[in-house]
Amino acid sequence: MNFSIIIATLLLVILTLLPVWNNSHWLVRSMDFPRLQIAFYAVVLIVLQCFLVNTTEVKYGLIGITLACFIWQVLWILPYTRLWPVEVKSAEDSDSDSDSDSQLSILTANVLTPNQKAHKLIELVKQHRPDVLVTLESDQWWEDQLDILQADMPFTIKCPQDNLYGMHVYSRLPLEEHSIEYIVEDDIPSMHALLRLQNGDAVQIHFLHPAPPSPTENQESAERDAELVTVARRIAKSKHGPIILTGDLNDVAWSSTTRLFRKISGLLDPRVGRGMFNTFHASYPFLRWPLDHLFHSEHFTVKSILRLPPIGSDHFALLTRLSYSPIHGADQNGLESTGKDHARANKIIEEQKE
């Protein structure tokens, strides 16, 4: 039994150390995802070590190693619990900035292309009445179903594709200067626009869905990382007004890549101090992590974040309600970038060009 516990502890150490390795292979980068599950595994392992290891020195040595792995995993995910201070202030109804003309609600939904339950998403849109709906993995069939929303959401950007990377935006608010770009890969679109709030202010808004590192798609995370860094740099250069980025980034909120994106772009994460809001996988409760994101500049405070009921996809939809409150949010700060961060960003871009 001691041998089995030692092997289980060695496996925990490998799972913990793999993401520390500066390697973009999908097997290494995927270990960023299940940090909560690995932490749970460590707790179970400590219990087994206490009761099943007979040799005192071995027992306490294994417990010490396992506890260190547990603490390491928890430190990554702790900011996405209510034990952590919030990064984005809650909107105040009494704040003069936060009247109805300054509100913005965005529903982000990866619909899963083969999913034929469009009525469930349409029902959620009618129930919650978001200002903006963005769909990922939407093809021509999904476009035909969702076009019924144009009566109330007449401003649209459409890019139906059959490769799981189609994208659609439906908006009640005007979308100006909108574009569809293929930043890194020729068949992976992103969308960009100026959204005009009811009070007349313009918001830069970006919609992304980079390809994940996986054995069936990109063997490495290089393409995803390069797209995130490229957009982060663009945001940093143009950061003179309100900015929002949302979409399925195929990366977890706490990964080093997403943290690098936040450092370079300067955008805030309203989930910090509020919860993980795990959106994937909808069918497996124990295998869930936050893949669908919304980040924004300090001009906004948050009214609410909701993970909505299932729509037949492998993702839950995410509804975020923000208040455009530049005065109330002026002193909000996110992650700070360092020279090392910018050097890493340069390396990611250069490696993608090779």
Confidence of residue 238 (pLDDT cuts 50, 70, 90): confident
Residue 240 has pLDDT above 80, yes or no: no
Mean pLDDT of 106-128: 98
Residue 24 has pLDDT above 90, yes or no: no
Q: What percent of the chain has pLDDT over 90?
A: 86
Mean pLDDT of 106-125: 98
Token digits of residue 241:
């007004």
With a CB cutoff of 8 Å and minimum separation 6, the contacts of 308 are 107, 124, 128, 316, 317, 318, 319
- Give the pLDDT of residue 97: 47
pTM of the predicted protein model: 0.94
Mean pLDDT of 320-346: 95
Confidence of residue 54 (pLDDT cuts 50, 70, 90): confident
- Give the pLDDT of residue 218: 81
Mean pLDDT of 232-242: 89
With a CB cutoff of 8 Å and minimum separation 6, the contacts of 100 are 198
Mean pLDDT of 13-42: 93
Least confident range from 195-204, 213-222, 288-297, 332-341: namely 213-222
- Give the pLDDT of residue 99: 67
Least confident range from 135-144, 211-220, 306-315: namely 211-220
Count Cβ atoms below 10 Å from residue 110 Cβ, excluding itself: 28
Closest alpha carbon to 237 in 197, 205, 264, 201: 264
- Could you tell me the fold of the domain covering 100-351? Deoxyribonuclease I; Chain A (3.60.10)
Compute CA distances 225 → 104, 122, 202, 246, whole Å. 28, 32, 28, 16
Mean pLDDT of 227-245: 93
Least confident range from 90-94, 177-181, 183-187, 322-326: namely 90-94
247 or 100, which is more confident:
247
Mean pLDDT of 137-160: 98
Mean pLDDT of 30-37: 95
Residue 98 has pLDDT above 50, yes or no: no
- Give the pLDDT of residue 163: 96
Q: State the Cα–Cα distance between residues 43 and 64, nearest whole angstrom.
A: 12
Cis status of the peptide bond prior to 281, with omega within 30 of 0: yes
With a CB cutoff of 8 Å and minimum separation 6, the contacts of 247 are 108, 134, 136, 190, 206, 207, 208, 209, 292, 293
Token digits of residue 223:
């393409």
Per the listing, tokens 């309203």 go with 270
- Give the pLDDT of residue 292: 98
Q: State the Cα–Cα distance between residues 134 and 30, nearest whole angstrom.
A: 26
**318, 294 contact by CB (below 8 A):** yes
Residue 61 CB-half CA count within 13 A? 10
Q: State the chain's mean pLDDT as an integer.
A: 94
Mean pLDDT of 175-190: 96
Radius of gyration from C-alpha coordinates of the chain: 21
Query: 54-63, 87-96, 217-226, 279-288: which has the highest mean pLDDT?
Result: 279-288
Within its chain, how far is the Cα of 108 from the centroid? 11
Confidence of residue 23 (pLDDT cuts 50, 70, 90): confident
Within its chain, how far is the Cα of 55 from the centroid? 45
Least confident range from 6-20, 214-228, 303-317: namely 214-228
